[in-house]
């Protein structure tokens, strides 16, 4: 009995000692998380309710504030992208061989390239023509384009002309002012006014519209015209409607970048004035037809 009582007391004492150790360790753990503040600085610490703002929430709010500062620095750039501020570009090159009723052929090329945003663009465009057994003539325009409405841009720049037919004044430079946009009934429209030396004042107009038969088979009615208001140069053109070409170009889009086509149109040319450098020519008109290919990048 004495041994049994002694064993029971020993077990009871050991259990109480273990419980006391666990309680002491738990109290020390909480004491380690409490910052030690000196009495001299305690009065400067604000009264913060830590139960309403746990430590994890404080760190989260601080990180969110830093992220907002970083995002704010790029907010203007992102806003511009969302509203058409990104820079894009496009280039279209068209080559075609056209023949008249007499069987005379002419190579015609047209280039249009631009880069910029929805608001501001830089345009580079050009035209080249070379009839059989003759010298080529071409023009290149450099333009700044500014958006003035949802569907229209106003453009200004210069045009350089080179005509190898002429003996004098082969090269000329014109001031160019125009408008580009989408007219009613979805006609893409380009109209330009040109002013140069020798009172050369003229205007050009180009209009075209796509009519889809299928997603790849497309007809495009078009109109190209030039009007002369005044011309006192050595190789002057007659005033009024100088030339006109109205037709239909029908293309098949192998891809959106490669598009062969056939072209048939009515063509009119008013002719040239009598000057010391050239003889007067009569007006001419008739059908022209041909084929070509358009590349788009």
The pLDDT of residue 84 is above 60: no
The residue-averaged pLDDT of 162-185 equals 92
The residue assigned the tokens 């305690």 is: 42
Domains of the chain and any CATH numbers: 88-296 (2.40.160.40)
The residue-averaged pLDDT of 36-52 equals 43
Tell me which H or E stretch contains 77: helix 75-82
The residues facing 226 across adjacent strands are: 204, 243
Phi-psi region of 186 (alpha: psi -120 to 50; beta: other; left: phi over 0): left
The residue-averaged pLDDT of 68-73 equals 51
Q: Please give the Cα distance from 265 to 249 (Å, whole number).
A: 8
Instruction: Quote the pTM value.
Output: 0.72
pLDDT in tens, 139-157: 999 999 999 999 999 999 9
Q: How far is CA 171 from CA 130, 140, 168, 174, 288, in A?
A: 16, 11, 8, 10, 28
Q: For 3, how many CA atoms within 13 A lie in the half-sphere containing its CB?
A: 0
């Amino acid at each position: 009995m004495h041994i049994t009582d002694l064993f029971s007391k020993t077990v009871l004492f050991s259990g109480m000692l273990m419980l006391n150790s666990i309680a002491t360790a738990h109290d020390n753990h909480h004491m380690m998380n409490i910052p030690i503040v000196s009495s001299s600085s305690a009065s400067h610490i604000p009264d913060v309710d830590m139960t309403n703002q746990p430590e994890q929430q404080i760190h989260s709010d601080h990180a969110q504030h830093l992220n907002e500062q970083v995002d704010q620095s790029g907010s203007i750039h992102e806003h511009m992208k969302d509203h058409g501020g990104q820079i894009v570009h496009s280039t279209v090159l068209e080559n075609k061989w056209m023949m008249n009723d007499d069987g005379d052929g002419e190579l015609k090329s047209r280039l249009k390239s631009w880069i910029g945003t929805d608001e501001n663009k830089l345009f580079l465009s050009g035209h080249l023509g070379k009839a059989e057994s003759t010298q080529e003539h071409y023009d290149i325009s450099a333009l700044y384009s500014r958006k003035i409405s949802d569907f229209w841009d106003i453009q200004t720049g210069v045009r350089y002309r080179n005509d190898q037919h002429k003996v004098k004044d082969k090269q000329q430079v014109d001031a160019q002012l125009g408008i580009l946009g989408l007219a009613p009934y979805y006609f893409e429209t380009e109209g330009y006014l040109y002013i140069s030396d020798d009172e050369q004042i003229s205007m050009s107009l180009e209009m075209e519209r796509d009519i889809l038969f299928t997603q790849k088979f497309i007809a495009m009615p078009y109109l190209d015209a030039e009007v002369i208001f005044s011309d006192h140069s050595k190789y002057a053109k007659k005033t009024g409607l100088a030339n006109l070409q109205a037709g239909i170009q029908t293309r098949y889009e192998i891809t959106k970048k490669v598009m062969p086509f056939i072209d048939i149109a009515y063509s009119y040319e008013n002719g040239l004035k009598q000057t010391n450098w050239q003889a007067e020519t009569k007006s001419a008109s008739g059908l022209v037809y041909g084929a070509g290919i358009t590349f788009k990048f």
